[in-house]
Structure 1
Amino acid sequence: MQVFNRIATSILEMIGKVLWGFKPNLMKDIVAQEGSVNSLSWFARNMPTYEKTLDDWGAIRTHLLATEISVLNGCSYCTYGHASALQLHYYKDYGKLLPSDEDQIASWHSVSEDETVDRFRELIGSAELSSELPILERMLVLRRGSEEPTSEEDRKIVHFIKMFQLLNRCGINAKTSHDQAHDPINKDSALREQYQQVRGEIPDSPPHHH
C-alpha cells in the first residue's frame, strides 16, 4: 500500500505545483488518511467543480467563502492557504490591504462561532466587499441544514461546504503546517514580495475588541 500512497501523493503534489507553484503540505496527509484510490477519485470529482466555481465567481468570492468555512470548521491550514490567496487578490485588485492579515484570520477558529461570524461581517464591511455578505449569510443557513439549496449559487455553496469537510478534517487531524496561497496568483512572486513588503510596513493591528 505504501507505494500506492507515495504515487498518489506525488500526483496530487504535482497538480498543486502546476496550479499554485508549490507542493501543498496537505496532499500527503489526505492520502495517509483517505487512502490512495479514494484520494485520487475525490480530487477527480471535486476539483473540476471547484475550478468552475473559481471561474464563475472570481477569486475574491471563492477564497473568502473557503476561508469562512475553514475557520468555522477549525482548520488553520486551509484557512491560511485561502486567506493568503484572498489577501493577494484583494491587494492586486484594490491596491490596499485587508484589515486583518492571513495569520490573524487563521487564529479566529479559537473563538466562538458567533464571534467568528461577527469578525467576518466586520472584515467584509471594512474591506468594502458588501456584495460578499449575502454569500456568507446564505452559507451559514445551508451549513446548518435549515434550508435546502434552491439555486445554482446555493449548489456552489453546498459543494464548498461538503468539499471542505474533508479537506478541513484531514488538516485538523494531521495538524498540517501552513504553506502558501492556494491559488495560481501564488506563482506571481513579484506580487507576493510587494504584498509582504507593504504588510511588513504596517504595525500589527491592536487586539480585536467588541
Structure 2
Amino acid sequence: MSQAGLTGLVTRLLESMCRALWGFAPRMIPHIVARLGPIRAVLWFGVNMPRLLRTMQVLGPLRTHLAAVAISLHNSCTYCAYGHAFALELIYLRDHGRLFPVDAHTIAGWRDLGPRELGHRLRSVLQEAGLHVEALWADRTLALASGEQRPVDVYEARIVHMVGMLGRMNRIAVEAGVEPDEAQNPINKDIALKARYAQLRAATT
C-alpha cells in the first residue's frame, strides 16, 4: 500500500473510532495523521486514548473536561478548549438541570488571557456554577500545565498525562488553524439533551 493509501486508511479508521465514541469525526484527525504519520498516529492514539478514558472514570467526566479546558486555554488552543468546554456544558446541564454560567464559545475565547486572569476567570465561573471544589482543581491544573508545580499523587499524575497529550493536540490544532466542531464526549450523541441545551441558550440571547 502506498503512503497516501495508508494515510487515508488510518484517517478513516480513527475518524470511525471517534464517530462511534462521540458521534462525529473530529476535524483534527486528518491533521494529526498528517503531522505524526499514519503509523505514529495509530500508536499515539493507542497509548493515549485508553488512559484518557480511564482518567474520565477516575476523576469523573466533568473534572477531566475542566482540566482539558484549562490546559488548552493555557496553550491558546481554541479547538480543544471549545470541544471540552462544550462537553462540560452538556454534562453540567444533564447533572444539574440548568445551563453552565458561560457558554463554550465564550470560554474558548479566553485563550489569549494571561495566567493570572485565566485562573481568575475559571475560578469565578466555577464558583458561580456552584462547583467550588472544581475551582481548586482548575488552579492546580494550570499550575501543573505551566510547570510551576509537580504532581503530588496519582490523581495529579493523570492531569500531567493530559498536559502532555493535549499539548501535542493543541500545537497541531493551533498551527493548522482547525475550527471547533462538537463536544468530545459520548454525551455529544444525546440528541435530546443537545436540543434542550440549544433551546435554553437561545432563550438567554
- TM bracket, shorter-chain basis: over 0.9
Alignment of 1:73-88 (within 5 A): 73-88=75-90
Aligned twin of 1:152: 154
Q: Could you give the per-residue CA deviations for residues 42-68 of structure 1, whole angstroms, max 9, x where no partner exists?
A: 110001110001011221111111111
Q: Could you give the per-residue CA deviations for residues 154-206 of structure 1, whole angstroms, max 9, x where no partner exists?
A: 11110111110111111101111111110000001011011011011002xxx
The one-letter amino acid of 1:173's match is E
Q: 1:17 aligns with which of 19, 26, 40?
A: 19
SS in structure 1 of the partner of residue 68 of structure 2: helix
- Structure 1 pair 198/147, CA: closer, same or farther in 2 (3 Å)? closer
SS in structure 2 of the partner of residue 107 of structure 1: helix
Structure 2 gap ranges (5+): none
Alignment of 1:30-69 (within 5 A): 30-69=32-71
Aligned twin of 1:141: 143
Alignment of 1:165-204 (within 5 A): 165-203=167-205
Whether the aligned pair in 1 keeps the contact of 2:100 and 2:129 (CA below 8 Å) is yes
**Aligned equivalents of 2:140, 2:113: Cα separation in 1:** 21
**Aligned equivalents of 1:202, 1:89: Cα separation in 2:** 19
Note the C-alpha offset of 1:72. 1.1
Q: Could you give the per-residue CA deviations for residues 126-153 of structure 1, whole angstroms, max 9, x where no partner exists?
A: 0110111222222223223234323111
**Aligned equivalents of 1:143, 1:59: Cα separation in 2:** 19
**Aligned equivalents of 1:113, 1:140: Cα separation in 2:** 8
Note the C-alpha offset of 1:108. 0.7
RMSD: 1.1
Q: Could you give the per-residue CA deviations for residues 63-112 of structure 1, whole angstroms, max 9, x where no partner exists?
A: 11111111111111111111110000000100111111011011111222
Aligned twin of 1:94: 96
**Aligned equivalents of 2:177, 2:149: Cα separation in 1:** 32
Name the TM-score, length of structure 2 as normaliser: 0.95
Aligned twin of 1:206: none
Runs in 1 of length 4+ with deviation above 3 angstroms?
none
The one-letter amino acid of 2:8's match is R
The one-letter amino acid of 1:23's match is A
What is the number of equivalent residue pairs in this alignment? Answer: 203
**Aligned equivalents of 2:69, 2:201: Cα separation in 1:** 19
Whether the aligned pair in 1 keeps the contact of 2:74 and 2:142 (CA below 8 Å) is no
The one-letter amino acid of 1:89's match is I
Confirm whether residue 127 of structure 1 aligns to residue 129 of structure 2: yes
